[in-house]
Chains A and B, each alone.
Chain A
Amino acid sequence: MHELPITQNILQIALRHAGDAKRITRINLVIGDLSAVIGDSVQFYWDIISKGTIAEGATLHFERIRACFHCNDCENAFEPDGRKFECPQCGSDQVNLVSGREFQLESIEVE
């Protein structure tokens, strides 16, 4: 489990971008499925560590991005089934992972 340090990072970044805002009301996160972060525990730690800051009570919004491959032979886009990576449409192994590793704080909403 490493959600505590991650939650601390989220708070630091948000505060750094808040300027002279009075309150941070929402934090928009983009999290790929391969990054193994559990939203519920981030929320749990968030409620504790944001106390007393201008981000206290802010909504954490997780946009989850699925792990997705692109097939270079037939242009198919697909999610792997956990047993193979080859393209389910044409069987090609000329495929690239195009999403799933995202781990960003995209924006904050302030007032």
Chain B
Amino acid sequence: MAKKVTVVEEILSENDRAALTNRAQLNDAGLFGLNLMASPGAGKTSVIMATIQALGDKLRIGYIDGDLASSIDVDKVAELGVPAVQINTGGLCHLDAFMMQGALPQLSLSELDLLVVENVGNLVCPSGFRLGIHRNVLIASVPEGDDKPYKYPAMYLGVDVMLLNKMDVIEAFDFDMEYFKRGVEILNPGLAFFPVSCKTGEGLDNWLAWVRSEVAAFKEGIVAVYEPR
């Protein structure tokens, strides 16, 4: 006789549990983390390098890079004198909490203030997989177009802060800023938003100030409630 068993469980519950473990490990080490997500080429590595160059003498920064295969980004960032770990996802389109679990012990967590994770370049998959990192960052970029919130809403729903990179080329792309912002605001009301250019440096000060205030708030224990999902 067939019998129905009610389950009602998140399919990614295992990943969410591992994310909580990662979160606890970072908290114990007093280390604040950012998870940067974006399409390929939006400027994740550029933003990270600019952040290290500006804040490297004030914060001890570590870097984890999720990449399908190459180690180009990790080599570039390591040249700045920052401890850098590569996660080779073996073809997988996103990082998950278990891959993070493998990477964290490769860094001296308690000797760092800020951990920056560069997720795999992809505007769909990374949003579903929490890592346990404190803040999820989306880097949108002007050449991708102003309609991306409407086409990839899931990514915009789950992030805590957003940069719009490559502002230096906005004239060339007919990018309707109001249209873009309207979509983002409906999906994620009040989302912190910084238009920047890694090429000219425009707007980066606002982003850097946000990073510093988040790290400071974390150190003071103000950022008390963390939702891993």
Contacts and interface: CB of A to CB of B under 8 A. Distances in A.
Interface of A: 1-2, 5-6, 9-10, 12-14, 17-19, 21, 25-26, 29, 34-36, 67, 80, 82-86, 93, 95, 97, 100-101, 103-111
A35 B92 CA distance: 16
Given A36-B125, A67-B153, A101-B157, A9 B11 contact: yes
Interface stretch (B2-10, B50-58, B106-114, B197-205): B2-10
A83 B8 contact: no
A13 B183 contact: no
Classify chain B's interface size.
Answer: 20 to 34
A97 B187 contact: yes
Given A93-B182, A101-B157, A104-B11, A19 B5 contact: yes
Nearest to B184: A85
Given A18-B5, A19-B5, 12 more contacts: A6-B11, A6-B12, A9-B11, A36-B154, A67-B153, A82-B151, A84-B183, A93-B182, A95-B186, A103-B12, A105-B9, A109-B3
Main secondary structure on A side of the interface with B: mixed
B157 A110 contact: no
Contacts of B151: 82
Contacts of A86: 182, 186
B67 interface: no
Contacts of A26: 2
16 contacts: A2-B93, A13-B7, A13-B13, A17-B7, A18-B5, A21-B3, A36-B124, A80-B150, A83-B147, A85-B150, A85-B183, A93-B182, A93-B185, A97-B187, A107-B4, A110-B2
Contacts of B183: 84-85
Scoring B96, B125, B185 by chain A CB atoms within 10 A of each residue's CB, the highest score goes to B125
